[in-house]
Amino acid sequence: MTERRRILFLDHAGVLGGGELSLLSIARAFRDEAEVILFEDGPFRRKLAEDGVAVSVLPMSGKLRTISRDGGLLNDAAAIPALLGHCLKVARLARSSSVIYANSQKSMIVGAIAGALSRRPVIWHLRDLMDVAHFSSGHIRLAVGVANAFVSRIIANSEATRDAFIASGGKAAKTLTVYNGIESDPFDSVDPSTSSLLRTELGVTESDLLVGCFSRLSDWKGQHVLLEAIRKHPGWHALLVGDAIFDADTPYKSMLETLASRYGMADRVHFLGFRDNVPELMAACDIVAHTSTAPEPFGRVIVEGMLSRKPVIATNAGGAVELIRDRQTGLLVPPNDAIALQGAISSLEQDAQLRATIASQGHDEAVSRFSSDRLVREVRAIVDSTRGGT
């Protein structure tokens, strides 16, 4: 591979969040010209390596690790010497690439400086909604300022993400929306016998209603709203697939466990932890619920629910609104509203025709708008035009 063609992908995370799973499909498609640098080790590195992607870990030193999404700028300032050291190392690696592609906010800051040092253009795949529901205003100013100054192209994962970036002062001319793409094969090739097996293992009968939530356990992902919504319905079960993959979310996980036992429903709230077989688990559910209480930037799990041919209920904010047409390809409910969620579950439970129509129309919409081929094509066009200097 010539230097001209190489892409240096950066991500700070070693865990498998939605941003990392999305990069996995992109890096796989660019395998022959990609090198991925992660700032911590973990299952993401192993997945990339299994898929034949060149990946290495450049660990962040102590102070750099303490920068958090809601932390203050003083804390960030203390991390500057470590940050510069890290940027220098990335700049050295970038010399054998034609473009730097940062997949997360922390890696964008590093990539932007490394790009200036190595004179390589930088693309930022922006997967976060830059608003105060998610970040401190200092962090938003810092990230937007650095991106405006040093990043050539910003790829937003939804119009909501793009709008929030621009509303925070981000340059509109550099920013374009590319929706995520999800491979449909794993959802189409689920063996149906695994579904009934799973329900039996969980003690969920055919007449019970299994509502699955497939988000990492985190306050703003709103699993507590689902627990509230099913509380008064003994035949309703919640399948919580996902873990507190970021340390700050561990107390929320304990809170959910406490809530389930306090409400006397530990036998119908099933904590599965992080799982690798989301398509199989979705197939066992009657409904897929997305319960985020803050605007979701995109929400892969919504599209995955649609690809599973399940009726999806999602909260009416952020990118979710661009994925679902209410009562046609899914149901939208206000965020943080357990009564509305309970009502939506109930209307699906009682109306088989509505369930079937939404599931089928949702599936077709997901296939036509969110394919991984379309994602790769759009990303390739942006990478090529950026390294061409346009």
Count of CB atoms within 10 A of residue 316's CB?
16
Q: Nearest distance from residue 121's CB to ligand UDP, in Å?
A: 26
Q: Nearest distance from residue 110's CB to ligand UDP, in Å?
A: 20
Q: How far apart are CA 19 and CA 7, in angstroms?
A: 18
Q: Is 125 in the site for ligand UDP (CB under 6 A)?
A: no
Query: For the chain, what's the residue count?
Result: 390
Contact (CB, 8 A) for 11 and 20: yes
Q: Nearest distance from residue 55's CB to ligand GLC, in Å?
A: 19
Q: Which CB atom, from 19 or from 170, has the smaller least distance to ligand GLC?
A: 19
Considering CB distances under 5 to 8 angstroms, the limit depending on partner class, which of ligand UDP, ligand GLC, none binds residue 157?
A: ligand GLC
Q: Is 128 in the site for ligand UDP (CB under 6 A)?
A: no
Q: How far apart are CA 159 and CA 385, in angstroms?
A: 21
Q: Is 21 in the site for ligand UDP (CB under 6 A)?
A: yes
Q: Is 14 in the site for ligand UDP (CB under 6 A)?
A: no
Q: Which CB atom, from 26 or from 99, has the smaller least distance to ligand GLC?
A: 26
Q: Which CB atom, from 278 or from 331, has the smaller least distance to ligand UDP?
A: 278
Q: Nearest distance from residue 304's CB to ligand UDP, in Å?
A: 5
Picking from 161, 275, 143, 156, the residue whose alpha carbon sits closest to that of residue 212 is: 275
Torsion angle in degrees (nearest 10) through CA of 24, 25, 30, 34:
-10
Among 4, 69, 95, 275, contact with ligand UDP (rule: CB under 6 A): 275
Among 214, 236, 252, 370, contact with ligand UDP (rule: CB under 6 A): 214
Residue span 39-78 as binding mask against ligand UDP, x where in contact by CB under 6 A, dash where not: ----------------------------------------
How many residues bind to ligand UDP according to rule CB under 6 A?
Answer: 18
364 membership: H or E segment, kind and range:
helix 352-369
Query: Residue-wise over 81-94: b if at least 16 C-beta within 10 A, else e?
Result: ebbeebbeebbebb
Among 18, 115, 295, 319, contact with ligand UDP (rule: CB under 6 A): 18
Q: What is the DSSP string of 237-277?
A: EEEEEB---SGGGHHHHHHHHHHHHHTT-GGGEEEEES-S-
Q: Nearest distance from residue 312's CB to ligand UDP, in Å?
A: 12
Look up residue 119 and give its two tokens: 């004179």
Q: Nearest distance from residue 116's CB to ligand UDP, in Å?
A: 29
Considering CB distances under 5 to 8 angstroms, the limit depending on partner class, which of ligand GLC, ligand UDP, none binds residue 241?
A: ligand UDP
Count of CB atoms within 10 A of residue 216's CB?
21
Q: Give how far Cα 262 sits from Cα of 11, 221, 255, 259, 340, Å.
A: 39, 21, 10, 5, 22
Phi, psi at residue 331, to the nearest 5°? -120, 140
Q: What is the DSSP string of 273-314?
A: ES-S-HHHHHHT-SEEE---SS-BS--HHHHHHHHTT--EEE
Q: Which CB atom, from 170 or from 297, has the smaller least distance to ligand GLC?
A: 297
Residue span 276-315 as binding mask against ligand UDP, x where in contact by CB under 6 A, dash where not: --x-------------------xxxx--x-----------
Among 105, 152, 177, 215, contact with ligand UDP (rule: CB under 6 A): 215
Which of these segments, 56-64, 164-172, 211-219, 341-349, binds ligand UDP (CB under 6 A)?
211-219
**Binding residues for ligand GLC (CB under 6 A):** 17-19, 22, 127, 157, 180, 296-300
Phi, psi at residue 95, to the nearest 5°? -60, -25
Which of these segments, 2-10, 56-64, 270-278, 319-327, binds ligand UDP (CB under 6 A)?
270-278
Considering CB distances under 5 to 8 angstroms, the limit depending on partner class, which of ligand GLC, ligand UDP, none binds residue 270?
A: none
Q: What is the DSSP letter of 317?
A: S
Q: Which residues bind ligand UDP (CB under 6 A)?
A: 16-19, 21, 214-216, 241-242, 274-275, 278, 298-301, 304
